[in-house]
Amino acid sequence: MKKSLKLLLLAASVALLASPASAKTIRWRMALSWPSTLTPLASPPMEVAKLVKEMSKGKFIIRVEGAEKTKSALGVLDMVKSGSYQMGHTGSYYYIGKDPNTVWFTTIPWGMTTAEQYAWFYYGNGMKYMKKVYDKFGVYSYPGGNTGVQMGGWFRKEIKTVDDLKGLKMRIPGFAGKVMAKLGVNVVNIPGGELYTSLDRGTIDALEWVGPAMDIKMGFYKVAPYYYTGWHEPASEMSFFVNQKAFNKLPKKYQVMLITAMKAASADMYIENFAKSVDAWQKMIKEYPGIKVKTFPIPVLKAMKKATDEIMQEYASKNPLFKEIWTDYQSYLKKARTWTMMSEYYYLKASKEVGAGE
């Protein structure tokens, strides 16, 4: 071959190699804290993987692996930290044992609603604190979809006084469980698969799950007729975790695709859970018209609030960052709630009074 021809061939090869069409496909894995079919919780990760694949024309692939595959529902933070998975989709408050400040990015009893919390994340100090808490794990954390207000749980008997809670056997994990324990509830831990039978047989008197969209699959409404309104998880946010080194190595355009897809998918989850709760509730009351929606009596609610404050104080007294975030959170909640009441609350109240939406 002539020298000029060789050079030309070389130039053509370089041009082809340098073009994005021949760029190597990036392959990531994402571990979930739930089975990959458990909608709406598993919807955001599935949607992110689909969107990123389509936007990159198949050049950025995220394989989603549910807890059925990883066998480590609560090991997501460790797996993303180590880089064995580049991403995870989980609940921040599962990692309270590693850092109590992880709770701020899911929900707290008597805390912010979904809109209030997103406002705190993006226009208050929420995302700043999220970064501070997760930086030490080498992980970027992003909101991953919200359940809205979770129901207070299914009870076999009506709760009329604070005394009715004493000795009550209830499955209610996390912070809310600590609050209930303070009120004399016998808080028990029972695997999900045994809950229905335990409630049916009276081994437990009550349990907390999520809300109609997820509760309906568990069948609790068939065996416990009192469905209490929520107080303990007003806006549970899921979390996407991304290994920082893996993210930083991504081309800028893929970083933006990932962030945009996470935001769109998170917004979608809130709507999906809302819509499925609407329909699940209609199905439940049609099948079991005897189900009663109840709000705990005011003295019970006040006792729950007092116990919540005590527990928060305990954490704050031991952990300066917890105290700092709690102060910031309360201050934002106060002004955000003023607006929520002026707008959404009084609209709903007025609508109720005139029979709109009935």
**Residues 296 to 315: which contact its own copies by CB under 8 A?**
296, 298, 301-302, 304-305
- Give 315-344 as a 3 state SS string: HHHHCHHHHHHHHHHHHHHHHHHHHHHHHH
Q: Is 183 in the site for its own copies (CB under 8 A)?
A: no
Q: How far apart are CA 90 and CA 176, in angstroms?
A: 19
- Nearest distance from residue 161's CB to its own copies, in Å? 16
Q: Is 12 in the site for its own copies (CB under 8 A)?
A: yes
Closest to 117 in 3D by CA, of 266, 255, 296: 266
Q: Is 234 in the site for its own copies (CB under 8 A)?
A: yes
Q: Is 279 in the site for its own copies (CB under 8 A)?
A: yes
Residues with Cβ within 8 Å of 89's Cβ and at least 6 positions away in sequence, in order, are 30, 31, 32, 33, 42, 44, 45, 76, 144, 238, 239, 240, 241
Q: Is 221 in the site for its own copies (CB under 8 A)?
A: no
* One residue of 63, 72, 82, 122 binding its own copies per CB under 8 A: 122
Q: Is 335 in the site for its own copies (CB under 8 A)?
A: yes
Q: Is 74 in the site for its own copies (CB under 8 A)?
A: no
The token pair at 209 is: 């799950």
Binding string to its own copies for residues 136 to 155, with x set by CB under 8 A, is what?
------------xx-x----
Cα-Cα end-to-end distance for the chain:
84
- The residue count for binding its own copies (CB under 8 A) is 93
Mode of pairing for the β-strands spanning 139-146 and 237-243: antiparallel
- Nearest distance from residue 19's CB to its own copies, in Å? 4
- Nearest distance from residue 81's CB to its own copies, in Å? 27
Q: Is 24 in the site for its own copies (CB under 8 A)?
A: no
Q: Is 36 in the site for its own copies (CB under 8 A)?
A: no
Mode of pairing for the β-strands spanning 139-146 and 87-91: unpaired
Q: How far apart are CA 332 and CA 111, in angstroms?
A: 11
Q: Is 288 in the site for its own copies (CB under 8 A)?
A: no
- Nearest distance from residue 88's CB to its own copies, in Å? 20
Stretch that binds its own copies, among 154-162, 239-247, 317-325, 347-355 (CB under 8 A): 347-355
Q: Is 110 in the site for its own copies (CB under 8 A)?
A: yes
Q: How far apart are CA 266 and CA 258, in angstroms?
A: 12
Crossing angle of helices 126-135 and 320-340, in 10° steps, is 150
* One residue of 257, 307, 311, 325 binding its own copies per CB under 8 A: 257
- Nearest distance from residue 318's CB to its own copies, in Å? 23
